[in-house]
Structure 1
Amino acid sequence: MFKKAEHSQVTISELMLPSHSNFSGKIHGGYILNLMDQIAFACASKHSRHYCVTASVNKVNFLNPIEVGEIVTLKASVNYTGRSSMVVGVRVESENIQRGSVKHCNSSYFTMVAIGEDRKPTKVPGLILEDKESIRRFVRSIKRQEQSLKRSDQFKKSEFKIEEYLHLLENHNLKIELD
């Protein structure tokens, strides 16, 4: 079975309240992450028709602060499907109501896994790629996975050779005291 990404896309908007703010008066990043996780769950569950869990979150950069009183809109779409996993792209924008200005605040990628009634990962529908942009997103997800695996393998404790990396530490704020 295969599905179009548009059939599982989810968009939510929420007014940012003072209760969502941190000590500096900006919206707390943890609150935004919580909303992102919720929308990724909704999108993945809608695509797979199963309960889904978050397996990983790839790189969260807070690009612009969100102010109290702004409307935050989160958009989620399935970018990649594996056997039981999906990569859900989440975009966060905030709108200043008085000015009508919109700013991009964050984009991130959530790897979600569909869970069957037996509480084990279960097969998800594949993705129908309809245009150049959907192909780009799918390929980008594959490349991101490859890079992540390469990083993990490269820095395994049993495989790490300190002498190969000491030169990288030369201009950093550190002091090495090896026994």
Structure 2
Amino acid sequence: MSSGRRETTLRFLAEPGDVNFGGKVHGGAVMKWIDLAAYACSAAWSGKYCITAYAGGIRFVEPIHVGNLVEVSAKVIYTGRSSMHIAIDVQASDPKELKNRLTTHCIVIMVAVDENGKPTEVPEWVPQTEDDIKLRESAIKLMNMRKQIGEEMEAHVKYLK
């Protein structure tokens, strides 16, 4: 059953095992955290098991350092029949100072599935504020752009075969 909760934030410390060869947190570790937050958010909204269908527009703005307190915030910004568009912001700070700075942001699309792995309906999210309306409109614009990009990418897939 859906909790109706639209936002989720995961918090943890960046560990030495998360570091790349340059001494900063590895982009792959950040992408894993993004996926975890998107799952937690979409499962809470839908009340169902959800799978990742798309992760895009990932922008690594600033590095995350070992020992930083990391916050991965996820928010539903659009719902389709079985899909949920989740906006993700990753922020980090020195835990002694707690001055958050944006490090990464993106959009993740999650799909609710039933026990057979088939897409299943999710509750509709209806924007209530002007900011929410803008987020929903932005999600729709991005969805249309992804369709165009997908069509363009087909040429590359055919070429590589």
**Is residue 25 of structure 2 the alignment partner of residue 21 of structure 1?**
no
Match of 2:131 among 122, 130, 133: 133
Q: CA deviation at 1:59?
A: 1.3
Q: CA deviation at 1:124?
A: 0.5
TM-score (norm 2): 0.89
Partner of 2:43: 45
Measure, in 1, the Cα distance between the counterparts of 2:51 and 2:27. 21
User: 1:3–1:125: 8 Å Cα contact kept in structure 2?
Assistant: no
SS in structure 2 opposite 1:101? coil
Q: CA deviation at 1:154?
A: 4.1
Mean Cα deviation higher: 16-25 or 95-104: 95-104
User: 1:85–1:112: 8 Å Cα contact kept in structure 2?
Assistant: yes
Partner of 1:162: none
CA RMSD of aligned residues (A): 2.0
SS in structure 2 opposite 1:31? helix
Amino acid in the other structure paired with 2:135? R
Partner of 1:35: 33
Residues 19-60 of structure 1 deviation map (CA, whole Å, 9 limit, x = unaligned): 211111111111111011001001001111110000011111
Unaligned runs of 5+ in 2: 157-161
Amino acid in the other structure paired with 1:9? E
> Structure 1 stretches (4+) deviating beyond 2 angstroms?
97-101, 151-158
SS in structure 2 opposite 1:22? coil
SS in structure 2 opposite 1:142? helix
Match of 1:62 among 60, 63, 69: 60
User: 1:3–1:127: 8 Å Cα contact kept in structure 2?
Assistant: no
Larger Rg: 1
Number of equivalenced pairs: 156
Partner of 2:159: none
Mean Cα deviation higher: 113-122 or 93-102: 93-102
SS in structure 2 opposite 1:41? helix
Partner of 1:168: none
Amino acid in the other structure paired with 1:141? A
Q: Sequence identity of aligned pairs in percent?
A: 30
Partner of 2:108: 110
TM-score (norm 1): 0.81
